[in-house]
Structure 1
Amino acid sequence: MRPSSLRARAGALRRLLLVLGGALTCGGFGLAWYVGRFGRREGAVPAEVGVVLGARVLAGGVPSGALWARVEKAVALYQQGLVPRLLFSGGTGLHPPSEAQVMRALAVRLGVPAEACLLEEQSHSTEQNARFSAEVLRRLGAQRVVVISDAYHLLRARQYFRLQGLEVATSPAPSGERLEAVEHFYWTVREAFALLAHPRVLLARSPLR
């Protein structure tokens, strides 16, 4: 093959890669806009269980700001009568005890009866939050849940819970005092590209549809 033909093919390949890269980037930022818009919407409705997704536990078992905010929002939903039980989902990270245990202790301090609190302590990812929580929910016979997490996380979380055959509403924990605008933008874009990398999750539909 002539050098000119090789150069032409290489040029065509570069142009194709640039087009694909541009399309992916535009799609990613477009989805990030939707992720942010979706997460800001309060979608809580009466449900059988509120599922609270874990966040980092600091040294000494101290709850991080994200964990505090998620539990406070879950407690508010419980006190409003929207959910009669709370399922705390999160395993043990760098610092024990498990995220679920720390969340339950905090919820009890805030007035939720211990018997209304359930634990899922195996998960270390959003996919595992949904999969292991679904096992607990099936044993309860629960089908409708409200998932509580940070706003940027809610769309991907909902999709994973939908894959488990659950009817899912979402409720955002307040993040204004914890996250700067740049941080919020970073996590929102990160969530969008995580969804693009897993089309099966992105396209999951409600079991009622």
Structure 2
Amino acid sequence: MNTIKWILTLSLFFGLLLFCIIGYFYLKASQYDDTPTPSSHADAGVVLGAALWDGKPSPALVERLEVAVKLYQDQKVDYVIVSGGLEKEGVTEALAMKDYLVQKKIPKERILLEDQSSNTRQNLENTKKLLASTQIDNIVIITHDYHMTRALQYAKQTGLNDSLVAPVHSEVLFLPYHKTRESLALIKQSLGF
């Protein structure tokens, strides 16, 4: 009887500990929820890739791209870097994003492609490499607000320390699911994986 009670107590303790850990990282994933788009100028906006649907940007990726369009139209950025190498039907995220931006009247020569990455860390590592061959000195990172904490941590690890942020609040995603998923990704990142 004491063994069962001890096991239940231990299980409850670890369950509460896990709940607190996930809750902490859920709050970290929520810290950019109400952050406005930057009012200062950056040389380029970097749109981090997301899913494609039938070779075209998904509604969530369109949300990120629309922020880039607005920043460009408001002359807050001179260039847009689209970052994402995952292919869907022979089209990379970066190419699909470029096509979308061209349709929105952003000149092709103002769009730079980083089409080799398959995750957030690679998005920023490869963007840093791309920037080495340009005159671009400062960037604004464009991604969803729940994703911004992890993106900024990777940006700092790659030397993109002074990046501005343009967090996108989604109207199309089920945020409790995505924030919980992002909380688990933040835990994994903090453990060094």
Q: TM-score range by the shorter chain?
A: 0.7 to 0.9
Give the Cα separation in 2 of the matches to 1:27 and 1:141.
Answer: 42
Give the counterpart letter for 1:135 in structure 2.
K
- For 1:49, give the aligned amino acid: A
Q: How many pairs are equivalent?
A: 190
**TM-score normalised per structure 1:** 0.80
Structure with the higher helix share, 1 or 2: 1
Whether the 8 Å contact between 1:88 and 1:104 is mirrored in structure 2 is: yes
Q: Is the partner of 2:77 in helix, strand or coil? A: coil
Query: Is 1:36 the counterpart of 2:36 in the alignment?
Result: no
Q: Which residue of the other structure, out of 17, 21, 35, is the alignment partner of 1:23?
A: 17
- Residues 146 and 179, structure 2, Cα contact 8 Å, conserved in 1: yes
Cα deviation digits, residues 54-85 of structure 1 (max 9, x gap): 111222x2221112111111010111111111
> Which runs of no fewer than 5 residues in structure 2 stay unpaired?
none
Q: Secondary structure at the match of 1:104?
A: helix
- Tell me if the contact between 1:89 and 1:100 (Cα under 8 Å) persists in the aligned partners: yes
Higher share in strand: 2
User: Could you tell me which residue of structure 2 aligns to residue 85 of structure 1?
Assistant: 79
Paired residue for 2:167?
172
Indicate yes or no: 2:64 matched with 1:73: no
Q: 47, 53, 56: which one pairs with 1:52?
A: 47
- Counterpart CA distance in 2 for 1:66 and 1:197 is 23
Q: Say if 1:55 and 1:99, in contact at 8 Å, map to a contact too.
A: yes
Gaps of 5+ in 1: 1-6, 202-209
Relative contact order, higher structure (CA 8 A, sep 6+): 2
TM-score, length basis structure 2: 0.86
C-alpha distance in structure 1 between counterparts of 2:77 and 2:52, whole Å: 25
Q: Is the 8 A contact 1:39 1:155 kept in 2?
A: no
Match in the other structure for 2:177: 186
- Residues 94 and 114 (structure 1), Cα distance of their counterparts in 2 relative to 1, 3 Å cut: closer
Determine which structure has more spread, i.e. the larger CA radius of gyration.
1
Matching residue of 1:205? none
Calculate the aligned-residue CA RMSD, in Å.
2.4
Match of 1:109 among 103, 126, 129: 103
Contact 1:89-1:133 within 8 A present in 2 as well: yes
Kindly, what percent of the aligned residue pairs are identical? Answer: 32
